[in-house]
Every structure is written in structure tokens, then in C-alpha cells.
Amino acid sequence: MKTISTTEARKNIRALLNVVRETGAVYAIGRREKPEVLLVKFPRDYSRELDDVTNTNAYSESFAFLQKEPNIYSVDDLKKKYA
């Protein structure tokens, strides 16, 4: 994730939107090298029954990289720890 200034974001908003839409890249926008907001691709599906954060995580492929990761814990392990 790259952090850009609000000035840079304003100057290049069209290009940033195109990059995010086409590649799924995520940009942090902020002031003085401190991120304040994220520019992320809008979820391909959206459920009004879920809040915005859940929709973003569930439908925008935020966690798609995990598909390549090995399964470290079984469902039983997770149930013991969290249920």
C-alpha cells in the first residue's frame, strides 16, 4: 500500500481511480506522511444487511491473498479457541 498526500490525490484522482478499479491497488491518503483514509475498490457485490466494513472485507477480495496460504488451523482448532 502506498501513502500519498491529499495534494497528490487531488491532482491525480482520475488516474488513481482507474488504477484502483483495474488492479485493486490500495492507496492511503493523508497529510504529513500520516495516512488518514483509504482508497479501495468498491465491492463487486454489496449487501444492505451488512455494514460497510463487512461488505468491503467480504466482497472486495481484501483477503483473496489468503487463498494461497496453507491452512494452519482446522475448524475444530478455531472452535476450541473462539467458540
C-alpha to C-alpha distance for 60 and 75, rounded to whole angstroms: 24
What is the domain extent for residue 64? 2-82
Segment 34-63 mean pLDDT: 77
Higher pLDDT, 35 or 47: 35
User: Which CATH number do you get for residue 22?
Assistant: 3.40.1620.10
Number of structural domains found in the chain? 1
What are the backbone angles phi and psi of residue 40, rounded to the nearest 5°? Answer: -130, 160
56 SS3 class:
helix
Q: What is the pLDDT of residue 36?
A: 92
Cβ–Cβ < 8 Å for 31, 8: no
Give pLDDT tens digits for 18-45.
999 888 888 999 998 889 998 988 777 7
Beta bridge mates, 31? 34
Instruction: State the Cα–Cα distance between residues 34 and 57, nearest whole angstrom.
Output: 23
pTM above 0.85, yes or no: no
User: What is the pLDDT, as a whole number, of residue 23?
Assistant: 87
